[in-house]
Structure 1
Amino acid sequence: MTNNLNLGDSNNQQANHVFVFLEIFAREGGIQSYVKDIFRAYLGLEAGYQAEVFLLRDNPDCLNPFECDRLKFNYFQNKSPQMGRVTMAGALFKYLLQKRPQRVFCGHIRLAVLIQTLCQPLGIPYTILTYGKEVWHPLTRREQRALAVAKDIWTISRYSRDQACAANRIEPHKVKMLPCAIDGDQFTPGAKSAELLIKYGLADSKVIMTVARLWSGDIYKGVDVTIRALPKILQAFPEVKYLVIGRGDDQPRLAQLAQDLGVSDRVVFAGFVPTEQLIAHYHLADAYIMPSQEGFGIVYLEAMACGIPVLSGDNDGSADPLQDGKVGWQVPHRDPEAVAAACIEILQGEDQRCHGQWLREQAIANFGQAALQRQLLSLLES
């Protein structure tokens, strides 16, 4: 176990806030990406905002671009998870007792009981950050109590709020929105890469694309539904190919489905693509198709920021990035006929929702880094 907390440093300015997370840098994922966006927004606020960050599973060797005078990180990774938790709890309690920060932000429901136990007796308000499925089912009584006692709860979408409230008897007014953000400087429109067109055999094709984990537990992503929609799509656009980016144990089933439907030559499984190469792959797409059930769906924003029209499910958190259908197509997520019909509309290109520059402007105006920073500031001051 290592940590860099130095309570004895008299030069340490009192932090306004404390953030406590399971992990940010030890692994990649939706929650980790979301937290990094929050840190970027936090550092964009005026200098008066300072915070101490406690990380249960990270260590100082992790690449951390956010370490600075205004965000100080404390690491508690330990070979014994229980010992790491006990050590972090002790250091956090000492910090809260001595420094009395204005508010504590609990970064995962699994830490909520600990945060309540430490903060409530000291009269320090705390906020619980939620993301998606981790709070969509009935939690333990102690976790529900921690949610009830919290000053407020932040989440990424209206759908995620509604699911959590229904499962855990949370008052909806207590839940505030802090949506995911898109980096408009990173995700930009661009020409199709000749090299990638050759690599995937996509020359002279209209390309529909999905970026998703292909795990058997993630069937809700809708890759199988899109494959089932292909025969009808091909009747209208015989040059269509379906580029699937991602990996997982469900790929053999999906490949067999494509073969059974006679469209295996139209489906390209690209496998895993690193983040730094993902933008060039978005540029290959004429439409981004993912009839899913998402807590939010950052991939839709990534596609729109690249000027690519999008299709999502009609009963999930994607209603927020798609602005209730204003900037994209929403269809019943397990309905191949609806997916095919909407996909044909997109490829015809006559709808305003197909206009790349307009799509990009909408995505960045509502979900860019500046929008996230404004929303974060509003929540911190409320």
Structure 2
Amino acid sequence: MLLKKYLKPEQTFLTWCFLAVFSCEGGIQSYVQDILNAYQDFKDSNSPSNFPIHPDSNVLILRDSPQDFNPFETPLSPFKFQYFKSQYPNWGRVKLATALLTSMLQKRPQRVLCGHINLSHLVQTICQPLGIPYTVLTYGKEVWEPLPTKYQKALQNADQIWTISRYSRDQACLANALNPQQFEILPCMVNGEQFTPGPKSQHLIERYGLENSRVLMTVARLWKGDPYKGVDVTIRALSQIAQVFPDVKYLVIGRGDDQPRLQQLAQDLGVSDRVIFAGFVPTEELVEHYRVCDGYVMPSQEGFGIVYLEAMACEKPVIAGDSDGSADPLQDGKLGWQVPHRDVDAVSQACIELLKGQDQRCHGHWLRQQSLASFGKPAFQNRVQALLQK
């Protein structure tokens, strides 16, 4: 009866629970915002097949506050946001749990979407006794290792688990005794309107000293705790690459506490004149940096690797690892090179092939078309709609 009171029969009411969406930047936050954008676009669409959403879905966010910029806070937004940031974290959780229970009892949502493993036990505790299905969103490494039992149980009892790649699904299943049939793959999205091809910026060429150079590039956080981005391997490969392409240079974008080690490595190997550490680059400036390179190189271990899609959308060929989530954006090697991520010789050979430009995977226009067809905004929106209709 409560459901009939609040909803039209054709509408779908959802409740969303997140750790943080707008108060910090990161892969998970961008992914969540893309999902919210896709959901909002259903409401804005005039298509007869428009997904029947409720115009006032609850979004509960534990670590954000009303002062954080939220682009969805508009008069026509389909979301009703509630924030629970507190100087006392446990009190914030109590308030979020109370709001979630209230929503469950008053509005009986068809589904709760839990945006982080750290909220999954709370969501399970409230939803399961009421018979309300819940979905847990997973992103990558947070579920690749054995979790505490309460989180394993929350995942095992979820109606659905969304994740970004086959690799991330497989790692989570192995670590936490999960059923692969519970998983749905929702890969990351690349914005084809933001990441576009274009001429090399003369300003950046002069800034980084790239005149008359063939440029390889990596965008990565340079953290000691996450050394498998492959920057050190690529630095080690430069001497071999330079034997074929003496004008090669390597542009490294990102910052972190591992940078001094990497700079010392380049110096010890005698290639410091070829390696440029650009530091942090804002998102809005990344597209010009992709355009200035001749190839994107990151032989890494990724849950997915949105950077490969960004590079391909800018019509740049890519090199990735061969045993991680990058298999999905590279379509199992169709769109780029997959190499053993710690193998210097393999990375060297792939870079040489890329710079020669004779392989189909170097055809920029084709790369852009193929990547956007599978991972552009329309494909992502259709996938979100299909998952929510299940």
Q: Shared fold by TM > 0.5?
A: yes
User: What residue is the counterpart of 1:152 in the other structure?
Assistant: 160
User: What residue is the counterpart of 2:359 in the other structure?
Assistant: 351
User: What residue is the counterpart of 2:88 in the other structure?
Assistant: 80
Conserved? CA contact 1:59–1:75, under 8 Å: yes
User: What residue is the counterpart of 2:240 in the other structure?
Assistant: 232
User: What residue is the counterpart of 1:24 in the other structure?
Assistant: 21
| 1:219-263 CA distance string (max 9 Å, x none) | 110100000000000000000000000001111110111111110
CA distance in 1, matches of 2:387, 2:147: 25
CA distance in 1, matches of 2:178, 2:58: 28
Is 2:209 aligned against 1:205? no
Give the drift of 1:47.
6.3
Runs of 4+ in 1 over 4 A off after TM superposition: 10-15
Give the drift of 1:11.
8.9
Give the counterpart of 1:135 among 128, 137, 143.
143
User: What residue is the counterpart of 2:384 in the other structure?
Assistant: 376
User: What residue is the counterpart of 1:7 in the other structure?
Assistant: none
CA distance in 1, matches of 2:159, 2:184: 11
| 1:157-206 CA distance string (max 9 Å, x none) | 00000000000000111111001000000000011111110000001000
CA distance in 2, matches of 1:156, 1:47: 22
User: What residue is the counterpart of 1:241 in the other structure?
Assistant: 249
User: What residue is the counterpart of 1:262 in the other structure?
Assistant: 270
Give the drift of 1:380.
1.0
SS at match of 1:184: coil
Coordinate RMSD, CA, aligned: 1.3
- Indicate how the Cα distance of structure 1 residues 315 and 47 shifts in structure 2: closer, same or farther if over 3 A, else same: closer
Conserved? CA contact 1:41–1:376, under 8 Å: yes
Q: So what's the TM-score if we normalise by structure 1?
A: 0.96
Letter in 2 for 1:288: Y
Give the counterpart of 1:285 among 270, 293, 302.
293
| 1:305-351 CA distance string (max 9 Å, x none) | 00000000000000000000000000000001000000000000001
Q: So what's the TM-score if we normalise by structure 2?
A: 0.94
CA distance in 1, matches of 2:65, 2:347: 45
User: What residue is the counterpart of 1:49 in the other structure?
Assistant: 53
CA distance in 1, matches of 2:346, 2:52: 51
SS at match of 2:225: helix
SS at match of 1:24: coil
Give the drift of 1:69.
3.6
Aligned positions, number:
373
Give the drift of 1:12.
9.3
Conserved? CA contact 2:321–2:339, under 8 Å: yes
CA distance in 2, matches of 1:328, 1:112: 36
CA distance in 2, matches of 1:47, 1:218: 40
Name whichever of 59-68 and 283-292 sits farther off: 59-68
Conserved? CA contact 2:301–2:325, under 8 Å: yes
CA distance in 2, matches of 1:115, 1:104: 8
SS at match of 1:65: coil
Give the counterpart of 2:371 among 363, 369, 372.
363
CA distance in 1, matches of 2:20, 2:171: 24
| 1:31-90 CA distance string (max 9 Å, x none) | 001011111111122362132110000011111112344122111111111111111111
CA distance in 2, matches of 1:130, 1:34: 10
CA distance in 2, matches of 1:28, 1:270: 20
Is 2:318 aligned against 1:310? yes
User: What residue is the counterpart of 2:46 in the other structure?
Assistant: none
CA distance in 1, matches of 2:58, 2:219: 35
Name whichever of 11-20 and 246-255 sits farther off: 11-20
Letter in 2 for 1:49: I
Conserved? CA contact 2:7–2:13, under 8 Å: no
Conserved? CA contact 1:47–1:70, under 8 Å: no
CA distance in 1, matches of 2:53, 2:316: 37
Letter in 2 for 1:364: L
User: What residue is the counterpart of 2:30 in the other structure?
Assistant: 33
SS at match of 1:326: coil
Give the drift of 1:371.
0.5
CA distance in 2, matches of 1:335, 1:72: 50
Letter in 1 for 2:85: Q
Give the drift of 1:15.
6.1
CA distance in 1, matches of 2:141, 2:282: 25
- Indicate how the Cα distance of structure 1 residues 164 and 47 shifts in structure 2: closer, same or farther if over 3 A, else same: closer
User: What residue is the counterpart of 1:101 in the other structure?
Assistant: 109
Letter in 1 for 2:284: E
Question: Which residues of structure 1 form unaligned runs of 5+?
Answer: 1-9
CA distance in 1, matches of 2:65, 2:7: 22
Is 2:66 aligned against 1:60? yes
User: What residue is the counterpart of 1:113 in the other structure?
Assistant: 121
Conserved? CA contact 1:15–1:52, under 8 Å: no
Q: How does 1:294-333 map to 2 (within 5 A)?
A: 294-333=302-341
